[in-house]
Structure 1
Amino acid sequence: MNSKNITWHTGKIHKEIRQQKNGHKSAVLWFTGLSGSGKSTLAAEIEEKLFNKNIHTYRLDGDNVRFGLNRDLGFSKDDRAENIRRIGEVSKLFVDAGLITLTSFISPYKTDREIVRNLLEENEFIEIHVKCDIDECEKRDPKGLYKKARNGEIKGFTGIDAPYEEPESPEIIVETDKMTLDECAKKIIQFLQDKKYFD
């Protein structure tokens, strides 16, 4: 932190009061996986299902955030780390606001994901490994990025010439090359109900 002449100002309304008013706990659902694994599709599906249950949500998508907040960042390892750091801080604010926040980012490095986990309190970071075989991701290639990476048009592409470090012990694993979208969504929502994030 560069600024030294700052002081944290505490308001009168805190996270627990917001959670009580909303009628549910707040947390971050952190969807991580290869490009094309289905992170964004799954996050959008779950957001709709939670919204229909009167759960207060907000969704942060990797590409969408790069149109605004993170438009100054590229895809180097340092820029990826800064991308995730900023999203972690934004997610923390949304958790404080009492929301269930759904974030879909490749977030290929374990250390970056762990930094976000450590920003939050226990049980507020739910890591969801959206697992899908890279061959299947490449077959889907919804944005045409694998083709560009194979042709050398994109450098440092996760899974091709940059690593993806799989989560070692995520809270949830969904295998989108073996499960339907509905099966994946139900598994995640069941986890949230079992852990009493909402009824």
Structure 2
Amino acid sequence: MSLAHDTLNKRTWVGTPKGIVEISAQNQLILHDETEGELPLSMVTDKNGALWIGGHEPFSFRSKIKKFQSGVWTAYQLDLMGYPSTFPYAIGVDKDNAVVATLTGTAVHSVIKFSGGKWNEIALPAKVFGPRALGLEGDKVWVGGTELMRLNDIQPVVINMPTDNPGILSIAVDRQGYKWLGTTQHGLIIYHE
């Protein structure tokens, strides 16, 4: 369901419904079943080698963001943080090693950032629906869903796309600053400021 590579410790993480699989540099497989029953929707490793997972429990319809570092799990229950019935579809690490996640649900449309030991919400433009994809570029946070948005400015900006509601599911930012957008409606869209 999701993948992350830890370049610091030379290991790859694979998220499955049965748990998280760690593949070492020596190709040893270790199953971490503490997440069994959760769907690992998104994964990333930070610059210290910690694994971050955006997971969803389909039977309780609750989600959490979990951190795994040095054999210890830390969980942040999203409904207890004011984000009920939400999906953490994308998670990333910015240039300052802060974790950023998109949250989408029935009544939740948010982007949150973990920095300084706490979660804070990043302002979105008014009437935004479905933030799902995430791309990080320097100080800029790119979020996709029903539209493409650039955050972390004084005022968030919605980018005019060549079509209404492209359904952006994924964002990759290359070294030249091009944003590669995987969409449900229009295939691949390449955007550059």
User: TM-score under structure 2 normalisation?
Assistant: 0.24
Larger strand fraction of residues: 2
TM-score (norm 1): 0.24
| Larger-gyration structure (1/2) | 1
Higher relative contact order (CA 8 A, sep 6+): 1
